[in-house]
Amino acid sequence: MFSWTTFLNSFGPLLGAAHFTLAVSVLGIALGLVIGTLICAARLSPAPALRRFAALWVSFLRGVPLLVQLLLVYYLLPVVGVDVPAMVAAVVTVGICASAYISEIWRGAIAALPKGQTEAAAAIGMAPVTQWMRIILPQAVVMSLPALVNELILLVKASSLVSVVGIMEITRASQAEAATTFRPLEVYLAAACLYLAINLCLAALGRFLERRMTV
């Protein structure tokens, strides 16, 4: 029979591991925003070499599963003499993977902007960097916010993969709890409820930010 006691008691250790899930997701998308912006700029660059590099970057990262990317980074860094904690390797991998999708989100939002705005800015002598900072990016952020929030929610769910390198996030904590209690159904159901609660909060935050930025 289903044990409500085990189900409720499972939230204690899972909540203790939730900060690792949030840390990997939030830091990963923050890194992904930085790299993704640079990749987007490269894809829109007039330089053919930069465009080809950015296209290859996006194609590779979108074509290789995140788990494989994580294992490659985790085992590659020691080979090249870089010894970092598993948490750092996880954040870097998640950020690099997210950058491919974020760059395409940026590119789609920028393509939807009226070209007359940048043409007018160039006509008055505004530098390209200033155009990006004052005209392009502010509008692109508003247009792409729903997609970025969706990407963050996907990263929260994908963060369960970092358990394979020993990070005690929600999924790994639930595996340990299930092995201790011998009640996997109750424990994994508690983990599912915790993931759902986190993602519902992120979706609500995204709707709030969207309303505020639209105003």
pTM of the model: 0.88
Say if residue 93's pLDDT is above 90. yes
pLDDT of the residue at 215: 59
Is 94 within 8 Å of 28 (Cβ atoms)? yes
Element (H, E) at 53: helix 48-63
- Over residues 32-53, mean pLDDT: 92
Among 146, 47, 145, 41, which Cα is nearest to 103's? Answer: 41
pLDDT, tens only, 18-42: 999 999 999 999 999 999 999 998 9
Among 110, 104, 134, which Cα is nearest to 35's? Answer: 104
| Confidence bin at 142 (pLDDT 50/70/90) | confident
| Confidence bin at 98 (pLDDT 50/70/90) | very high
